Amino acid sequence: MAVVTTTGVSGAFGVQKSGFLEVLVRERWHKVLVNLNEEALTLSCEEGCVNNDNVNDSVNSNGVTNGSYLDNNNANSNNGPQTVRTAFSDLPERVPEAIANRKRCLKVTKQEVGGLGISIKGGKENKMPILISKIFKGLAADQTQALYVGDAILSVNSVNLRDATHDEAVQALKRAGKEVTLEVKYMREATPYVKKGSPVSEIGWETPPPESPRLSPTTISSSSSFNTFDPPSSPTQPSLSLQGDRRCIPLKMCCVTRAMTTPDPENRQLELHSPDARHTVVLRCPDQPSALSWFSVMHSVTSKLAQRALAEVIQSTARTGVAGSKEIRHLGWLAGKTESEKQCWKPVLMVVTEKDLLLYESLPRGKEAWQSPAHTYPLLATRLVHSGPDRGSPHSGTELFFATRTGTRLGIETHLFRAETTKDLSLWTRHIVNGCHASAEMIKEVTTSCLYQSQECRLVIHYEQGFSVLADPKLGDGDNGEERGAHTPTRPRVLLSYPYEKLKMSSDDGVRMLLLEFGGKEGEIQLDLHSCPKPIVFILHSFLSAKIYRLGLVA
């Protein structure tokens, strides 16, 4: 059974938590060593972790590597391959039948950087032939288009490797020179062994091109720049450290969830979603308590990093604002879906500004992307309608859930959101409710055209003064009424005016009619708003809610 241990953290590079977990790769679980610090999560295929038969990869400067890329000067190089062919990609059924179990000879010219570009396993001590376990795309071996993962290397430049140990094979390949003649034989039956090598090499993660804004690199000190908008200061610092049997994933603006995309009947899995929302790493813990422990620490780390990101976004958009708003109050990841969508939850980046609720499908890259959210909902026309356990969840009472409803010209849009902790749920609901009230006090007045008693009018709802129906001044009496209005401002004639406390009833038909009852001589007031009345109905509710909340504070 996997054992999870926790150690103290003493700095940005200190380990906060480490232990053996399982990672889901191509629908199979693989045991890996997981290390978590204040910036990143590292997954490693350690020796006793996946290679129980002591089948080792080797490292040398001539391109026979365990997947960690070294140049010919034996120094770390990030110009190396970012993708690898493994037994997961070179499936046996894709290897031509004509070459199976047949000897082949071919020549490979080593490259200045990357050498042969292969990784090997096996050896006499493992009771196995020398097997190619990885082929790095774009390097010498891959360019031949004639070598496959699962090929046994029988000889190198006529040096027999059939009975060689692993180290002897490594030395033979190192001494082979620039022009290498390989005698190989594809062994279909060896595929299960090379598959054991590096499940983490199959893990995808976002790697933005150098010219695009991206998250800062993981390996930085606490005093280093950590800007969401700016590219790394050095092109040799990738956002994802890719070292063969190790993946170092920066956690800044990652989304940590449980049971969002993968069924988890035993309640012991974690999900890590990339900032671009295209990649997911699923981890499985040995039991529920350890899953809760891992989740709590990872969630704490990502929450702290999200606060850094929030400060950066606020600073970077101070002059331009975001999507028509001047100020960001809060941002973070939630699981979201609309009421009409019955599929699983998906990550949604929510941003609360001084007047809007913005939804992004992924973390925006650069200032222009922040100006184009997937959805924009005015807080003044949005209300929180539920907060608490998701009563529709298969694990009733375990999912923390809230819903928003927004009045739009097309009707009511309902969005369902799931928070991961009670603290998150409280924080989000407070920001939305307070944002709605603050928006009402800031905007103060909303005006819309309407038809009242067959007359074109304007309905004005004021945060302090209540309701007014005004005759449209543009439609004055006489043939040249519009011309007079253009030169001589006409004060609109007040047809109706009532404070909020006089309102006894309000309703709508969901199509275009708004009905108000103030108890006056007019009786029920019918206003034709020319379009769906829901935005006005929701704004009315927000004004009333903000006034009641303010009265409660005064009291």
| Spatial contact of 257 and 420, defined as CB atoms under 8 Å apart | yes
Query: So what's the pLDDT on residue 93?
Result: 58
258: how many CB neighbours lie within 10 A of its CB? 20
What ranges in 419-533 are assigned the alpha helix state H? Answer: 422-443, 481-487
Largest CA distance in the chain: 109
In one-letter notation, the amino acid at residue 120 is I
Query: How many residues can be counted in the chain?
Result: 555
Give the Cα separation of 351 and 373 in Å (integer): 9
Give the Cα separation of 198 and 217 in Å (integer): 23
Nearest to 65 by CA among 155, 134, 150: 134
Query: So what's the pLDDT on residue 46?
Result: 55
Q: What's the token pair of residue 290?
A: 């350890």
555: how many CB neighbours lie within 10 A of its CB? 5
Give the Cα separation of 260 and 152 in Å (integer): 42
pTM score: 0.68
Query: So what's the pLDDT on residue 84?
Result: 65
SS3 assignment, position 41: strand
Query: So what's the pLDDT on residue 260?
Result: 86
For residue 363, what are the contacts with CB-CB under 8 A and spacing of at least 6? 228, 253, 275, 276, 277, 349
Q: What's the token pair of residue 495?
A: 């047809």
Phi, psi for residue 532 in degrees, rounded to 5: -55, 130
Residues 206-241 have pLDDT tens digits of 654 433 333 333 332 222 333 444 433 333 333 444
394: how many CB neighbours lie within 10 A of its CB? 10
In one-letter notation, the amino acid at residue 376 is T
Nearest to 381 by CA among 440, 467, 322, 468: 440
Helix (H) or strand (E) holding 544: helix 534-554
Q: Bridge partners of 347?
A: 335
Q: What's the token pair of residue 170?
A: 């490594």
Parallel/antiparallel/unpaired status of strands 494-498 and 455-462? unpaired
In one-letter notation, the amino acid at residue 497 is S
| Spatial contact of 44 and 246, defined as CB atoms under 8 Å apart | yes
Phi, psi for residue 64 in degrees, rounded to 5: -100, 100
Q: What's the token pair of residue 161?
A: 């490797």
* Residue 549 falls in which region: left (phi positive, over 0), alpha (psi -120 to 50) or beta: alpha
* Residue numbers in the chain where pLDDT is lower than 70: 1-15, 46-94, 191-198, 206-245, 341-343, 389-398, 473-489, 553-555
Residues 320-367 have pLDDT tens digits of 889 999 999 999 999 998 877 666 789 999 999 999 999 999 999 888
